[in-house]
Amino acid sequence: MGTAVIIIIVIFLAGVLVFGSQALRRYWDEETNMTDEDHAFDRRVASYNTSIANKQRDEDIVRVLRGQEMPTVADRYRRDEDRYYEDDE
């Protein structure tokens, strides 16, 4: 009787493992499968991001050429370090 129960449990666990892995694979395939609409949306978003980045870069270049550039965080730290070293003298 003991070995029969163990065999039934092993068969049950093997079935759960096989069916569970198949269900997981089907779910994963549905999640990762991209339609043509998804690809088109990704291309539109990438194009939009590129145009925004180019526009921002152009505005930054114009701002620098006009002498209206914004100070950066690195400039602030550099200025603070200069003040720190001036105090030591």
Q: Are 18 and 26 a contacting pair, CB within 8 Å?
A: no
pTM: 0.41
At residue 40 the predicted structure's pLDDT band, cuts being 50, 70 and 90, is very high
35 conformational bin, left if phi > 0, alpha if psi -120 to 50, beta if neither:
beta
Question: What gap in Å lies between CA 42 and CA 36, rounded to an integer?
Answer: 10
* pLDDT, tens digit, 9 for 90 and up, residues 53-86: 888 778 877 777 777 666 666 666 666 666 556 5
